[in-house]
A = this chain, B = another copy of it.
Amino acid sequence: MPRRRITQTDVAAMAGVSQATVSFVLNGSTPAGVRISEETRQRVLDAIRITGYTANPAAQRLAGGLAQILGVFTYEATFPRPSRDFYGPFLTGIEHAAERLGVDLLLFTSAPVEDGRRRLTREGWQRLGVADGCLLLGQHEHRGELQHLLDTNYPFVFIGKRGSDGGRLPYVGADYVSGTVRQIDRLVALGHRRIGYVGLRGTDQPTLDRVEGYRDAMKAHGLTTRFVELEDTAATAAEIVEQRFTAVVVAPENHPEELADELAARGVRVPDDVSVLLLGQPHHLRRGGRAWSGFSVPREEMGARALYLLSRLAADDGPRRERDARRPTAVTEAELHQVLACPDVEGATLAPPGRTAR
């Protein structure tokens, strides 16, 4: 039982070669014109197998190589309750991908937290360096922070579409636009005409995309768009009644459960009187919550795809390899900006227009 780390030098000694040779064998390719005979290669591989050698990630990283560590930076706390429900699925996907890739995950929990949001500071940025690359998730505000990443050519991938910054930001997002369009289509197909959009306006990408989808679809069907954007759930419910909507599409962060309660309090049943389609999974789970119809964001898949992409970027962009540009594995433009489809959810809140309204 070795009490000390097993190093390449140990392996080299056993195989009767130099440490450099071991490194070459391990890294396969030989940047310079270095060649290793098949026989030597086998001797080294055997020695590795026997000794159970595994590279020291710290050393690999320090020497400018890849450590098989990928970072995860969340702009909000990762695990605490509400966010656990939100980030959870992403992380599940990320973990799966990490397992497949044989990679460890580094959570940057050391970044300073201000007002519940984590900041990617100049100092924090330096700590990213231990990882080969980094996943970013959550709403970021200080875009200046990203400049470092761009400047230094550090590999990173956003989870969630990023329309800003002239398409320079790699991301894996969800297709909120098509998803929303499809919901309107479903409603119209059932006979709905007065379809409202419930949700606060924001400048975040999901909101922009939902609104775009709603606008486009309503226009395509020749219907009038009507927005309900009140802070207060009760007021929102009242407005829904007032406007005589037969259906509404709701952004999921708007406490749909409470909205349903308020509607019920006004004698309005879902979906008998008003259909409610959710544009994404509910953010706040509740005991005995109902089965919402609408679409769901493929969070697990997004997480996994993002990590795969990051892994590729890291392999390409690897520290000292910026020179030999195009190679068989080069990441394509299309890969850099992926938008995944949001499947429809068949819940229990969709029905033809009720007798009450209309």
Contacts and interface: CB of A to CB of B under 8 A. Distances in A.
B6 A126 contact: yes
A300 to B, nearest CB: 9
Interface string A316-344: 00000000000000000000000000000
- Copies of this chain, tallied across the complex: 2
B58 A129 contact: yes
B58 A130 contact: yes
23 contacts: A4-B152, A6-B126, A54-B126, A56-B130, A57-B130, A59-B62, A78-B95, A79-B94, A80-B96, A82-B89, A82-B285, A84-B85, A88-B88, A95-B107, A95-B109, A99-B113, A103-B109, A104-B108, A104-B109, A104-B130, A105-B106, A107-B107, A130-B130
Interface in A273-290: 285, 287-289
Grouping DSSP codes into helix (H, G, I), strand (E, B) and loop, the A interface class, with mixed when no group exceeds half, is mixed
A107 B104 contact: yes
Contact of A77 (B57, B95, B106): B95
A95 B53 CA distance: 31
Nearest to A93: B79
A123 B11 CA distance: 14
A3 B154 CA distance: 10
Nearest to A84: B88
Given A81-B92, A85-B88, A101-B110, 17 more contacts: A1-B147, A3-B151, A5-B129, A52-B121, A53-B123, A56-B62, A56-B130, A58-B67, A58-B130, A79-B92, A80-B95, A80-B96, A82-B89, A104-B106, A104-B127, A106-B107, A130-B130
Given A58-B58, A62-B56, A62-B62, A110 B85 contact: no
